[in-house]
């Protein structure tokens, strides 16, 4: 990105602050892959691989269909997905938000849409502009098959940085979105050192996670390893209960 930025500056005489966004929008028509520099986790090399096979059908449609918007509002009961306020009772205006932004590979389909009040929509946009330089890390994480991998790889890319809970919830892509606490507990059980901190900012209470150290992914993947640990814990508890029963019978 540094080289691209330098080249744009030498050609046009000014730096382009929207470069990350431009690069992401290229992906509507082109195959661009990003390779993470193993020594600098936040540094990527971009490779243009050619046109997308479906490039001619991709007309960069930026707005969801009216029927999907209507379905989304209905599904969420005409409430803001973040704060629960409604136009009827709270006089808020709802906008249709892409849970995963289009530039990060999110779709225009109903399952990627949610209503947000203008306030929460602005907060989300601010979150993304704060993390514009981490867009590539987000995109790479989002492409992974399991929530632990997605959260873990994002934290690794941003190691030592306080990552807002909302960004983690976004890559987690889970139904209980907004609360990655359980996943954090599971990553810690795998030996990861993750620190949680909270701050108040106006009406909002913000929560951050910072990765201090991590372990390589266990063989077979984190999901299987966590399931094994869970199973072992249940057995130990059952054994303990049986022992207590036996002791009680003896006395």
Least distance in Å: CB of 129 to Zn ion? 19
Span from 45-53, 109-117, 216-224, 232-240 in contact with Zn ion (CB under 5 A): 109-117
Buried b (16+ CB within 10 A) or exposed e, 231-240: eeeeeeeeee
Work out how close the CB of 171 gets to Zn ion at its nearest, in angstroms, rounded to a whole number. Answer: 21
Binding positions for Zn ion, 60-79, rule CB under 5 A: none
The structure tokens 């209470």 sit at 205
Say how many residues touch Zn ion, by CB under 5 A.
5
Tell me: does residue 97 bind Zn ion (CB under 5 A): no
Min. distance of Cβ 138 from Zn ion in angstroms?
A: 22
* 82 binding Zn ion? (CB under 5 A): yes
**CA torsion through residues 154, 160, 161, 162, sign:** positive
Q: At closest approach, how far in Å is the CB of 144 from Zn ion?
A: 29
Per-residue interface string for the shown chain with Zn ion, residues 12-51, x marking contact by CB under 5 A: ----------------------------------------
Rounded to the nearest 5°, which phi and psi values hold at 94? -95, 140
Q: Which residue in this structure is represented by tokens 């059908």?
A: 57
Q: Which structure tokens are listed for 180?
A: 């990655």
Q: Which burial class, exposed, middle or buried, applies to 186 when counting CB atoms under 10 A from its CB (0-12, 13-18, 19+)?
A: buried
Going by C-alpha positions, the residue among 69, 52, 61, 79 that lies closest to residue 112 is: 69
Binding mask 118-147 for Zn ion (x = CB under 5 A): --x---------------------------
- 14: which residues sit within 8 A by CB, 6+ positions away? none
Taking the complex as a whole, how short is the minimal distance between the CB of residue 122 and Zn ion, in angstroms?
A: 10
Contact positions vs Zn ion (CB under 5 A): 80, 82-83, 117, 120
């Amino acid at each position: 990105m540094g080289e691209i930025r330098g080249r744009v500056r030498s050609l046009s005489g000014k730096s382009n602050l929207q470069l990350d966004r431009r690069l992401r929008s290229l992906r509507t028509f082109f195959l661009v892959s990003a390779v993470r520099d193993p020594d600098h986790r936040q540094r990527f090399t971009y490779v243009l691989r050619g046109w997308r096979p479906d490039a001619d059908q991709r007309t960069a449609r930026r707005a969801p269909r009216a029927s999907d918007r209507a379905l989304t509002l209905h599904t969420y009961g005409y409430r803001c997905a973040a704060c629960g306020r409604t136009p009827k009772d709270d006089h808020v205006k709802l906008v249709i938000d892409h849970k995963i932004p289009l530039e990060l590979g999110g779709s225009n389909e109903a399952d990627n849409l949610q209503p947000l009040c203008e306030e929460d929509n602005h907060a989300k946009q601010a979150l993304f502009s704060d993390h514009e330089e981490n867009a590539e890390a987000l995109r790479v994480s989002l492409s992974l098959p399991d929530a632990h991998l997605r959260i873990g790889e994002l934290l690794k890319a941003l190691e030592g940085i306080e990552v807002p809970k909302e960004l983690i919830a976004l890559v987690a892509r889970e139904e209980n979105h907004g609360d990655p606490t359980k996943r954090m507990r599971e990553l810690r059980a795998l030996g990861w050192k993750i620190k949680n901190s909270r701050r108040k900012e106006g009406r909002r209470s913000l929560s951050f996670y910072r990765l201090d150290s991590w372990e390589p992914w266990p063989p077979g993947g984190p999901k299987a390893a966590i399931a094994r640990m869970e199973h072992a814990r249940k057995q130990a508890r059952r054994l303990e209960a049986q022992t207590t029963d036996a002791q009680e019978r003896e006395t």
